Structure 1
Amino acid sequence: MSISGQVVFESEDLDRTEEFLCSSYAPMRIGSGSQDAGAHITRVASESVSADKLDLHFDMSYDVEPLGRICLCDIEAGTIEDHQVAGWAEPAAFAPGDLFSFSPPDRPYSGRICRARYSITMLDPAVLTRVAGAEKPVELLDHNPVSEAGARHLRAAITYVRDQVLSAPDVAEQPLLLSTATQHLAAAVLAAFPTTALAERAGTDLDAHPQALRRAVAFIEAHPDRDLTAAELAQAAGVSARAVQLAFRRHLDTTPMAYLRRVRLDHARAELRAAAAGETTVTQVAARWGYTRPSAFTAHYRAAYDELPSQTLHGEFLAAAQS
């Protein structure tokens, strides 16, 4: 298992950036309406895993062929919008603090990155299958982690592999250390996301039935203002947390946390619509519904309703519809 060393790329030329991204990831087309296309990228990689930090000072559209790898994205600043993967029912939006799987290894995807600073970690799917001890190739069943705790653990594993292993030549050149660190990362991915490996275990797949889903949905809609956990939803549904995750994916094509977020957004929207002039602010409403970062609230709100929360608060869309 070899290590390639650190690569640093910096350019304001869109064509050069596209060429670098194609060589680092997969064939793609990028575009921008901005004259300033400044990009700064650092990359460390081995044969099985790579870790990049990207800082794009412009809005960039992307249309990417299948990567052939597990691809994880962690956003520090900016947003990713209109992210559409082949087979998804609708596009998604991501904001600072979001850690997610960009796309299954065998599917193309497209979208728009808006002046974002983020990291990309890619892992050979064969490592995931080997660590899971599965007979068939392991696939992620969702692009979001099952819990905040799983996301935190995965983020720590990514940081360790990137900063303490791949970025340290004396460590990365040791095959056993590199292999162990890569398997540690794969284990963190398996713990963070629902996967087909878990569906093979007795009971989990069978428990993902409509009755469990109805109980979980009723619990979410009755307690949208509570800091709900995967364990609480599982208890309310009477099945395991993994079974709840599979039930939402199978019957609603979403995740429990994404469903909870949409319910909270609906409540926030109703509150914004009902507010009298000067009575509240978007930041206050966002905080009441679990958003500590107004930028994340705005990104998710715009993706859900195709309008800004400030426009809802000031009645701009309602006024336009009545005129």
Structure 2
Amino acid sequence: MQIFRELTSHVLRQSCIVNSESWWFGIPVERGEQCKLGSYAVGENTVAMRPGFAPFELLTPDSFEILGLVVNRQDLVLHIQTLNQSSVLPRTMQDELLKIKPVQKMGLQRLVWQILEEAARTPDIVSNPSSNESIRIAVLDALADVCSSHETTGRPPYRQMSHYKIVREVRQHLLENQDETITVVDLCQRFQISRRTLQYAFQDVMGMNPNAYLRTLRLNGVRRCLRDPNSGVSSVQQAAANWGFWHMSQFARDYQGLFGELPSERLKRRSFPIS
């Protein structure tokens, strides 16, 4: 996976091609004149897509910025199929330009900026296997969301009792595997349900989406590490990264919001009895 930001000061015509096993997504940051993918103008709230080993030309105006994602094609295909619980890929993945909602485009841009900023600020976060995997999943989740958003056919007719059963079984699985960093795609694969079904079940029963619930469990995992002098963890950053957190400022806010204290304060009290 490659994540990058490209800034140009002059008008450029670039001949581009990505690895045959990959898929390129270009997310322009509009500041006036639009860029062109071949003969197509990449308009507002549009993401450009090209499969690997398919040459394309990108014409960009002066003072231009574009965010880029290059992902393994098979990784993305399997991720989308698992989340949707369908072997059929969204029709939109056959296009060169993908029209998306403004909030989706802003979310993609924010995710790329955050990853690049955090990688520059704390390189150890990116090299940690757990936080590195969280970044990979976050990117695949975001791309799966924008690729699948036009395939929605409305809320499926699941009964509330089915939702209780789904949540009960998922919670039992999570309780039995408290020391593992489990993702939404893991749950979809294990229980053979789509992301939408899982989302509806948790919203109905828990009043929160499954990602928020999983994040709370991971925050509790960090807290256990910070409290336990035998955990082998010597810093907040290490504890957070081990549980898949890579955006440290957001992690600190989430931790404080849940537990009413900063993670560094919890670590300082490690050797003292819990009141």
- TM superposition score category, shorter chain reference: 0.3 to 0.5
Point out the structure with the larger helix share.
2
TM-score, L = length of structure 2: 0.45
TM-score, L = length of structure 1: 0.40
